[in-house]
Structure 1
Amino acid sequence: YKDIKGVSYSFENNDENLSIDETIDINFNTISSDDYHAMVNGQTDVKGTSSPIISATKTKENLESMGFVCEMQ
């Protein structure tokens, strides 16, 4: 995520609680639709496909479907 404009990322390993906390902040006013699409789908945009729609709700649903616990602020 470090090279994507509009995205900040932090990672904290908590050995005491046996947990890992990842925070991904997305500025929906700054991120490009191509970068957003690549980030949430784990792939680059394919020519000829429809343009991705940037949605905080769909991002949350996608991350939760992969097993992440998300708290929207």
Structure 2
Amino acid sequence: MDNEYYATYTLDKVVIHIVSPPQKSKDEVKKCLYQYHSAFLCWWNTLSMEECLKINKSPELNQADKY
């Protein structure tokens, strides 16, 4: 885990957990988060941003409307 960083952001009372390798900047992570205000787990080391956002829309990972 020492080659990854773990960040938690809170947007609209939804907690979002991101695991990202160092080659992805925190700005890139925040950009993804602010575009999609919902809860999701995104593994940036295996997924592109497009793949991440597709997964974000899947019902089992998108918990936003439960809050």
User: TM (normalized to structure 1)?
Assistant: 0.32
**Larger gyration radius, structure 1 or structure 2:** 1
Structure with bigger helix share is 2
User: TM (normalized to structure 2)?
Assistant: 0.34
